[in-house]
Amino acid sequence: MVPISYYLVLSAILFSIGVAAFLIKRNIISIFMSIELMLNAVNLSFVAFAHQWHQVSGQIFVFFVMVVAAAEAAVGLAIIIAIFRSRSTLNVDQVDLMKL
Amino acid sequence: MHLVLFFIFGGLCVAGALNLLFQRHPINSALSLIVVMSSLAVLYLLLGAEFLAAAQVIVYSGAIMVLFTFVIMLLNAGREERTHGSKAAYAIGIPGAAALFAALTYIFLSNGTHLSSASLGEYLVTTDALSRVLFRDLLLPFEVTSVLILVAVLGAVALARKEN
């Protein structure tokens, strides 16, 4: 027997680590990977709530999140390749054309 | 049994995520993200989501992470160097994430008495039940996501193409 709140706390831990990595990392690919980590953390809480209320719709949500994450990864990595072609760097501190 | 499996694979998840946070080379971060995603698949299985566990392994730790490692090797990404921006990010990022974690955990644990607990094999969503909802009630959103995937493929090809 595992309380559902344990799963939610695990999801909170993963999400917070994802937020910290998103803010700390300077490499654009690592930043993109921490976004995937946050998506996974939210998926875990969706599955936990689907188990709590015995509803299939929580798992349907996770399915759609996976589909959108796959599309997002394809487009995002293409954008990263385009950035690397034009600026030949992956450091976000040097991609600051729109910064004040 | 369930508690032991939860702590093993939950601990593996947290260890992998922390390794992702503290490694400085993106390929190490990518490999530890694969560990996180594979252990999450086991946790999905414990929660009775068998189709999602398989999809997690195939889509996330298979397809998406292969794409990531491929791009890391294609761009020959090296260790990230510390800049003046990273000091400010450390100063704001760690306390901010800790505050977020504290708030979320407080909410979950203070309202956790309303939630039940999960035991192994108590509730199982079969692929049959999932596809019944997906292809009957949600047929239109499902088809729209296939169009989204098509647009994403075209966009990725257009963005990554060499300009003449």
Sign for the pseudo-dihedral over CA of B53, B57, B61, B66: negative
- Length of chain B in terms of residues written: 164
Q: What is the pLDDT of residue A81?
A: 92
Q: Is the pLDDT of residue A80 over 90?
A: yes
Of the pLDDT bands very low, low, confident and very high (cuts 50, 70, 90), residue B73 is very high
Q: What average pLDDT score do residues B115-123 get?
A: 78
- Tokens matching residue B81: 């160097």
Of the pLDDT bands very low, low, confident and very high (cuts 50, 70, 90), residue A3 is confident
Q: What average pLDDT score do residues A58-62 get?
A: 93
- Give A67-79 pLDDT, tens digit per residue: 999 999 999 999 9
Q: Is the pLDDT of residue A44 over 70?
A: yes
Domain ranges in chain A are: 4-94
Q: Is the pLDDT of residue A84 over 80?
A: yes
Q: Which residue has the tokens 């054309």?
A: A97
Q: What is the ipTM of this complex?
A: 0.91
Q: CB contact, 8 Å: A99 with chain B?
A: no
Q: What average pLDDT score do residues A12-29 get?
A: 92
Q: Is the pLDDT of residue B117 over 90?
A: no
Contact residues, chain B, for A83 at CB < 8 Å: none
Cα three-residue angle A45-B122-B3, rounded to 5 degrees = 65
- Give B100-115 pLDDT, tens digit per residue: 999 999 998 888 777 7
- Provide the pairing of β-strand B117-118 with A2-3: antiparallel
Contact residues, chain A, for B145 at CB < 8 Å: 64, 67-68
Question: How far apart are alpha carbons A16 and A50 in whole angstroms?
Answer: 22
Q: CB contact, 8 Å: A31 with chain B?
A: no
Question: How far apart are alpha carbons B136 and B89 in whole angstroms?
Answer: 47
Question: How far apart are alpha carbons B157 and B150 in whole angstroms?
Answer: 11
In a mutational test of the A interface, the residue from B7, B18, B52 whose CB has the highest number of chain A CBs within 10 Å is B52
In CATH, A4-94 is 1.10.287.3510: yes
Q: What is the pLDDT of residue B79?
A: 79
For B115, which DSSP code?
A: S
Residues 67-96 (A) with a CB less than 8 A from some CB of B? 67-75, 77-82, 84-85, 90-93
CA distance A98 to chain B (A): 16
Contact, A77 vs B60, CB < 8 A? no
Q: Cβ of B133: how many Cβ atoms within 10 Å? A: 16
Q: Is the pLDDT of residue B139 over 80?
A: yes
User: Crossing angle of helices A57-87/A28-53, nearest 10°?
Assistant: 180
Q: What is the pLDDT of residue A88?
A: 85
Q: What is the pLDDT of residue A37?
A: 95
The overall average pLDDT reported for chain B is 89
Q: What average pLDDT score do residues A40-47 get?
A: 94
More confident position, B32 or A99: B32
b/e map of B87-105 (b: 16 or more CB within 10 Å)?
eebeeebeeebeeebeebb
Q: Which residue has the tokens 């706390």?
A: A9
Question: How far apart are alpha carbons B80 and B83 in whole angstroms?
Answer: 9
**Which residues does residue A91 pair with via DSSP β-bridges, in sequence order?**
A27
CA distance B10 to chain A (A): 7
Q: What is the pLDDT of residue B111?
A: 83
- Give B141-156 pLDDT, tens digit per residue: 999 999 999 999 999 9
What percent of chain B has pLDDT above 90?
Answer: 62
Q: What is the pLDDT of residue B164?
A: 64
